[in-house]
Amino acid sequence: MAQKIKMIMAKPGLDGHDRGAKLLARVCAEAGMEVVYTGLRQTPEMIVAAAEQEDADVVGLSSLSGVHNYFFPKVVELMKQKGLEDVLLVGGGIIPEEDYDFLKKSGMNAIFGPGTPTGAIVDFIKENVRKR
């Protein structure tokens, strides 16, 4: 039997909007993943430490306060420094489409904007996550 996909769901920065993060955590858990929700106010260092400690296959970053262009690349960079390049990085929240390119170029695997069906996110993770 295949090992369960392990996911870290994280809220970088001071943003308190976690309806989406919690909802997606629940949906991913129901889709058979093992999900750890970090809670609010995570620094990039805290998120990467959690990913390393939990041996995560995927890290989800949720931001609704407009700080994605600052935080997401920071997380990518720290993941690289820790040698965690094969961990899938997905982001979501209030992120304008015009920022998608920048975020993907900086190393995010996918960005999901408002109104994305949760099923599409689950499918993306299952198709693109590293195989063990």
Partner 1 sequence: MFEEKVLKKIKDDKEKWEQGPLGKSLAKSPEAKPVFTTISGTPVERLYTPLDVEDLDYERDLGYPGTFPFTRGVQPTMYRGRYWTMRQYAGFGDAKSTNERYRYLLEQGQTGLSVAFHLPTQAGYDSDHPLSMGEVGKVGVAIDHIDDMRVLFDRIPLDKVTTSMTMNAPAGVLLAMYLAIAKEQGVDWAKVGGTVQNDVLKEIICRGQYIYPPRHTMRLTVDLIEFCQKSVPKWNTISISGYHIREAGSTAAQEMAFTLADGIAYTQACIERGMDVDSFAPRLSFFFNAFTNVLEEVAKFRAGRRYWAKVMRERFKAKDPRSMMLRYHVQTGGVTLTAQQPLNNIVRVALQTYATALGGGQSLHTNSYDEALCLPTQQAVTVALRTQQIVAEESGATDTIDPLAGSYYVESMTDRIEAEVDEYIKKIDAMGGTLSAIEQGYIQKEIQNSAYRFQKEIETEERVYVGINKYTMEEPPPTGLLKVDMSVGEKKAAELKQYRANRDNAKWKAALDKLREISATDQNVMPYVIEAVTAKATVGEICDVWRNIYGEYRPKEFV
Q: At closest approach, how far in Å is the CB of 116 from partner 1?
A: 10
Are 56 and 8 in contact by the 8 Å Cβ rule? The answer is yes
Q: Which element (helix H / strand E) includes 121?
A: helix 118-128
Q: At closest approach, how far in Å is the CB of 127 from partner 1?
A: 19
Tell me how far apart the alpha carbons of residues 56 and 64 are, in angstroms, rounded to a whole number.
23
Positions that interact with partner 1 (CB under 8 A): 13-19, 22-23, 25-27, 35, 37, 39-41, 43, 65-67, 70-71, 94, 96-98, 113-115, 117-119
Q: How far is CA 90 from the centre of its chain?
A: 4
- Nearer to partner 1 by Cβ, of 19 and 132: the residue is 19
- Nearer to partner 1 by Cβ, of 90 and 92: the residue is 92
Are 10 and 60 in contact by the 8 Å Cβ rule? The answer is yes
Q: At closest approach, how far in Å is the CB of 86 from partner 1?
A: 26
